[in-house]
Structure 1
């Protein structure tokens, strides 16, 4: 009987890890969409006075999202 609570805790922990990974993946996808929107706005000439700063921000965000995506995809295997 002593093993049963540990098994339940282990299963609960795995479920929480899976939920966290799914939440992170959903967040990354949403941020990718936001990044694409930002890039489109920059390309259309919006916020011309901030173009260079926004382009740099978009590149950094892309790199961050790529690393985060790789982290979560390698962690789920």
Structure 2
């Protein structure tokens, strides 16, 4: 059975992981759009591509935070197992 603290960490894991995946995918789409604009030499392709890179890095950061929350939840669960005889 999970404790309340573990449940909160798992909830953060899902929120940050899902948000990170969405932001990462959006960043890839924006970057590809900027690449297409650069090929046709139309529009402000540099700033669109830079925004795409920023979204990608933000998504990776969110996924990294999600990994941290999941690891903390697993550590708490392991410590609870060891504390019980």
Structure 1 residues without counterparts, runs of 5 or longer:
1-9
Q: Report how many residues are paired.
A: 67
TM value normalised by structure 2: 0.62
Deviations 1:13-70 (A, max 9, x none): 3212211211110111111111111122122228x32211111111222222222322
RMSD: 2.2
Specify whether residues 75 and 15 from structure 1 end up closer, same or farther in structure 2 by C-alpha distance, changes over 3 A only.
Answer: closer
Structure 2 residues without counterparts, runs of 5 or longer:
72-85
* 2:45 aligned with 1:51: yes
The whole-number CA distance in structure 2 between the counterparts of 1:49 and 1:62 is 21
